Amino acid sequence: MSRYETHIGLEIHIHLSTRTKMFCGCDAKFGDEPNTNVCPVCMGWPGTLPMLSGAAVELGYRTAHALGCTLSRRTVFVRKQYFYPDMPKNYQISQFHDPVGRDGLLGVPMPDGGVKTVRIRECHLEEDAGKMIHAGEITLLDYNRAGYPLLEIVTEPDLRSGAEAEEFLRYFRRLVRHLGVSDGNMEEGSLRCDANVSVAPEGAGLGTKVEIKNLNSSRFVRLALEHERERQTALLSEGGAVLQETRLWNENRDRTEPMRTKESSRDYRYFPEPDLPPFVPSGRFLSMIGGSVPELPAALAERFVREYGLSPDLAGAVTDDRAEAEFFERTVKRAAALSGGTVPPDGALPDGTGREVALWMTGELRKVLGRAGVTLTESRMTSERLAQIVALLREGRINGRIAKRLVSEAVTRDAEPLEVVAREGLELLSTEEALLPYVQRVLASEREVTAAVRSGDTAKAEYLVGRVMAETGGRADPPLVRMLIDRLAAGVPAAKERR
Amino acid sequence: MIDRYERLEPVRLRWRNLVSSPAAYRSRVAEREAKVHALIEFRAPDPGCIPRPEAGPLSGLPFAVKNNIAVGGWNLTCGSRMLAELAAPYSATAVGRLTGAGAVVTGTANLDEFGMGSSTANSFAGPTRNPWDLSRTPGGSSGGSAAAVASGEVPFALGTDTGGSVRQPAAFCGIYGLKPTYGAVSRFGLVAYASSLECIGVLAESPELAEAVFAGMRGRDPLDHTSVSWTPAPDRPVRTVAVLRDTAALSDEVRAVYKRSVASLGALGYDTVPVELPALEYAAAAYYTIATAEASANLARFDGIRYGLRPYYAESPEQLVTEARTKGFGPEVKQRIMLGTFVLREGFREQFYQRAQRIRAAIGRELERVFETADVLLSPVYPVTAFRLDDPAMDGFTQKTADIYTVMANLAGLPALSFPAGLSDGLPVGLQVTAPAFAEASLFRFAQRFRDVFPPPVCPLRDSEPVRDRGGRA
């Protein structure tokens, strides 16, 4: 029984996070009323010409660079021609022979701890089409999206399973969000993915390629590719041949089906776009791109595990977003400084502060931000404030309940934690000196109960602890209170009174 | 510079007077329009809207705009049923600069549909007629612009020159026609036919006026990435004129005028050097291959969905588009779209489109060599003079092959100016001078010198008085 190998390549489109469309000044944002973010240029009116967005070019080059691509010194735009109602010019301005970047590499961390290296064939810029909506017997067209800047990334068929493809997509999404070039959101359509999959006997090279479309989430990518692998393997092992075609993933039926239209056999009649001269990046542009790539998420997460003692999961959660990762590091260093610790020269603090900060960022703070409907960077939580809260916790001056309150007030009331604690006297009473007056007062008012405690009644002792907690507004440290009560009740002088 | 524009003062005054009474102006234009049908739409300007005389030479001058160049608030039919109802929501940059300099748009000019043709007979609005002989074509595709200027409706008009469409009608109508250096004038607002070949050009009564209009329009436009900052070639006087040796393709009449003009160059003070351009043999084929390829893409947007002719009902998007384009386009346009689609097809592209681009590069190199030894190149514009509107010998194919002299400037991106060089059988014969990129000044200097020695005849229709009708209305 021969074994079969699966070869999967992905074609990914991401919406670049520019303010305007690719070739005109219209806003590139989701959700507005149909046909309101349009102008003569992106509607393909006669006499209009494309104006290339510098921001889109920059984000395209940045992404290509982060993917390890060789960057083009002379990138050329072409017209890709076909008729479709959502295409205002009935050609798409795209790239073909001279894309922004090619021959790159991406190392994707896998769940088993290993790294899967996937070759990137090329990255190129192009404009998006509008949206067609079928409503019964009529077809509606919204051109708001026409002219959005897209970057298409094509991988070599290096992926070997649906699961690997899913991991690739997940990591790719983290990467583009980390770089700030795209939201990378499949549900919102800012990341789209088609797959090419072929199955062949092991060692026999690539089989017949089948294109799979209509993959609307990374989970469907995995399911569709697994299904396709089974389908092709079954065909081949029965002696049949795989037809080269385009198939659509049917998510309701959990299977791929042949595409009925003839879209897949188009001749695009490419020729260089005469309205746009080739873009030749200057030396300054290239060094700006070269210098701008921050630590990639995997490397960053790995560093956080090493330097701050975070678990891989926690490190991953905190490095999804570059701004949040920077916030984390700033907070940790500040918290250490506030607690009177010295920050080691290499910045590493394996004393648990990092873990504390990460837990609060991914737990309570995320909840509070979600309720307030703001992101971390939009909110009033600063790294200084979170550092104050963590420092107070680590010094034992507040407990978890108070910390939660401080997090909430920082966000919703713009409150500085140290001020709140001072103003409202929220500090824990955690020394004998601080607690003594309260304990003495309570014991003095409960002579009978105290006598019972002296005789060994532990239940009554707990009652007295409760009374002290109430007197201190919950700021007392229960074990310490209990100890003091036991001692005083037994007639042992308090530490201060001893000589 | 001041000298040249001072010559325009009498012109400006004359036209301000003509235009100052809307009724008189309307009547003047109506009388000519009844004969030549140069304009698609005409609006006499409200005297209150005419700018006061400023220092600028264009201030107060009326002009017509070829109807494939957008003028905000006017129709943009492009001579096509497809866009018969389309109103331009913005103005072309070139138009805006001229109105900013004080000139006033008074009409949109007829044209061959989408600029495709050499006769202005391919217009949904019917043909325009040559003011010199109403049974003949004014040339094309900017025939309306040429006829409007030659007949005295306006002193200048904007046209577009993709393969000679400004220069050939100027030659047929006995006026001046400038095709600027590619990129010198913004193409924003010019409805694209062949993007890498076409320019907005000027048709005018005099070389001074053409120069003033060009100066008012040119310069980089951020809306057009192929436009460039105006950096003129070093201002040298024209001393040496290259002349094309091979005149076999010309009609006897045109050849006679050409040879006479060449012979007079010495008397005008120029040295001459005869040249040959072997690549000219392939020029028309290369031109039509590239132009139709670009046109097939540029005209793809006309599908009736967002604007333009739209059938009332269709079963599917495909049917809607097919019907709109079948009904909206004339036969010449359809033919060029099909040709252009063909030459870009996978499997044919190397043989046709890419080969044409190589020929184009060769023509550019040959012209570069010419300008190593000469300042301008003198050549014919068209093998024949204005042909009859119903002339069977001048069918679509013949018209195309006759473009060899004009297309080379478009293929190489160089400036060229056609000027009146004489009459033959009562019809104007025009010749052209071509110069290196950004050397438009050489063209104007040459044309002025030639004109000073050989003043061209004015079309009889131009200065004729309007007929007063019996009701006493002017």
Q: Which pLDDT does position B446 carry in this prediction? A: 97
**Binary contact (A49, B317; C-beta < 8 A):** no
As a whole number of angstroms, the distance between CA B471 and CA B466 comes to 14
Least confident of B7-11, B125-129, B187-191: B7-11
In A, which residues are within 8 Å of B302 by CB distance?
46
Q: Which pLDDT does position A341 carry in this prediction? A: 63
In A, which residues are within 8 Å of B80 by CB distance?
none
CA dihedral of residues A146, A151, A157, A162 (deg, nearest 10):
-70
A202-207: long-range contacts, CB 8 A cutoff, minimum separation 24: A202/A2, A202/A3, A202/A4, A202/A5, A203/A5, A204/A5, A206/A7, A206/A157, A207/A7, A207/A232, A207/A236, A207/A242
In B, which residues are within 8 Å of A89 by CB distance?
297, 300-301
CA angle at B7 for the pair B2 and B9, rounded to the nearest 5°: 95
As a whole number of angstroms, the distance between CA A299 and CA A305 comes to 10
Please tell me which residue in B123, B141, B151, B186 is annotated as part of the active site. B141
Among candidates A88, A91, A271 on the partner chain, residue whose Cβ is nearest the Cβ of B306: A88
In A, which residues are within 8 Å of B191 by CB distance?
46-47
Place of tokens 């076999």: B248
Mean pLDDT of A309-327: 86
Q: Is B25 helix (H, G, I), strand (E, B) or coil?
A: helix
Q: Comparing B347 with B469, which gets the higher pLDDT?
A: B347
Among candidates A44, A81, A271 on the partner chain, residue whose Cβ is nearest the Cβ of B353: A271
Instruction: With a cut of 80, say whether residue A291 has pLDDT above it.
Output: no
Touching check for A88 and chain B: CB below 8 Å?
A: yes
Q: Is B199 helix (H, G, I), strand (E, B) or coil?
A: strand
- Residue B246 pLDDT class (50, 70, 90 cuts): confident
Indicate if B179 belongs to the active site. Answer: no
- Residue B303 pLDDT class (50, 70, 90 cuts): very high
What's the mean pLDDT when you consider all of chain A?
88
**Binary contact (B226, A274; C-beta < 8 A):** yes
DSSP string, A357-368: HHHHIIIIIHHH
Q: Which pLDDT does position B92 carry in this prediction? A: 98
User: In angstroms, what separates the C-alpha of A268 from chain B's closest C-alpha?
Assistant: 8
Place of tokens 């309940």: A401
Touching check for B342 and chain A: CB below 8 Å?
A: no
Touching check for B75 and chain A: CB below 8 Å?
A: no
Tens of pLDDT along B10-49? Answer: 888 889 888 889 999 999 999 999 999 999 999 998 877 7
Among candidates A44, A52, A139 on the partner chain, residue whose Cβ is nearest the Cβ of B306: A44
Touching check for A56 and chain B: CB below 8 Å?
A: no
Edge to edge, what strands does the sheet with A210-215 contain?
A70-71, A101-109, A115-127, A149-155, A4-15, A191-201, A210-215, A246-250, A255-258
Instruction: With a cut of 60, say whether residue B242 has pLDDT above it.
Output: yes
Q: Amino acid identity of A376?
A: L
Q: Which pLDDT does position A266 carry in this prediction? A: 83
- Residue B171 pLDDT class (50, 70, 90 cuts): very high
Nearest residue on chain B to A39, alpha-carbon basis = B89
Residue pair A161/A23 in contact by the 8 Å Cβ criterion: no
Nearest residue on chain A to B68, alpha-carbon basis = A47
Among candidates A44, A141, A274 on the partner chain, residue whose Cβ is nearest the Cβ of B294: A274
In A, which residues are within 8 Å of B92 by CB distance?
47
Touching check for B307 and chain A: CB below 8 Å?
A: yes
In B, which residues are within 8 Å of A79 by CB distance?
297
Residue pair B54/B121 in contact by the 8 Å Cβ criterion: no
Q: Which pLDDT does position A349 carry in this prediction? A: 56
Q: Which pLDDT does position B218 carry in this prediction? A: 97
What's the mean pLDDT when you consider all of chain B?
93
Q: Which pLDDT does position A498 carry in this prediction? A: 44
Q: Which pLDDT does position B236 carry in this prediction? A: 82
Q: Which pLDDT does position A3 carry in this prediction? A: 86
- Residue B473 pLDDT class (50, 70, 90 cuts): very low
CA dihedral of residues A155, A161, A166, A172 (deg, nearest 10):
-30
- Residue A294 pLDDT class (50, 70, 90 cuts): low
Q: Which pLDDT does position A438 carry in this prediction? A: 87
Mean pLDDT of B215-241: 94
**Interface probe, candidates B95, B190, B198, B306, chain A, greatest A C-beta count within 10 A:** B306
Least confident of A45-49, A249-253, B159-163: A249-253
CA distances from B126 to B79, B111, B145, B171, B425 (A): 9, 9, 15, 21, 26
Mean pLDDT of B311-339: 94
Which residues are within 8 A (CB) of B90 and not within 5 positions of it... i.e. 6 or more apart?
A: A40, B70, B72, B189
Q: Which residues 268-297 of A are in CB contact (within 8 Å) with B?
A: 269-271, 274-277
For residue A105 the two structure tokens come to 């590499």
As a whole number of angstroms, the distance between CA A238 and CA B113 comes to 61
Among candidates A43, A83, A269 on the partner chain, residue whose Cβ is nearest the Cβ of B344: A269
Q: Which pLDDT does position A343 carry in this prediction? A: 53
Touching check for A91 and chain B: CB below 8 Å?
A: yes
How many percent of chain B have pLDDT more than 70?
Answer: 96
Q: Give the number of other Cβ atoms within 10 Å of residue A250's Cβ.
A: 13
DSSP string, B424-442: ETTEEEEEEEE-STT-HHH
**Number of residue pairs across A and B with CB atoms under 8 Å?**
95
Instruction: With a cut of 60, say whether residue A362 has pLDDT above it.
Output: yes
Bridge-based pairing state of the strands A70-71 and A4-15: unpaired
How many percent of chain A have pLDDT more than 70?
Answer: 94
ipTM exceeding cut-off 0.95 for this assembly: no
Phi-psi region of B304 (alpha: psi -120 to 50; beta: other; left: phi over 0): left
User: In angstroms, what separates the C-alpha of A90 from chain B's closest C-alpha?
Assistant: 5
- Residue A188 pLDDT class (50, 70, 90 cuts): confident
In B, which residues are within 8 Å of A40 by CB distance?
89-90
Please tell me which residue in B118, B123, B151, B165 is annotated as part of the active site. B165
Most confident stretch, A254-268, A297-311, B279-293? B279-293
- Residue B458 pLDDT class (50, 70, 90 cuts): very high
User: In angstroms, what separates the C-alpha of B189 from chain A's closest C-alpha?
Assistant: 4
Most confident stretch, A481-490, B327-336, B386-395? B327-336
Q: Which pLDDT does position B207 carry in this prediction? A: 96
- Residue B470 pLDDT class (50, 70, 90 cuts): very low
In A, which residues are within 8 Å of B89 by CB distance?
40, 45
As a whole number of angstroms, the distance between CA A64 and CA A58 comes to 10
Indicate if B165 belongs to the active site. Answer: yes
User: In angstroms, what separates the C-alpha of A23 from chain B's closest C-alpha?
Assistant: 10
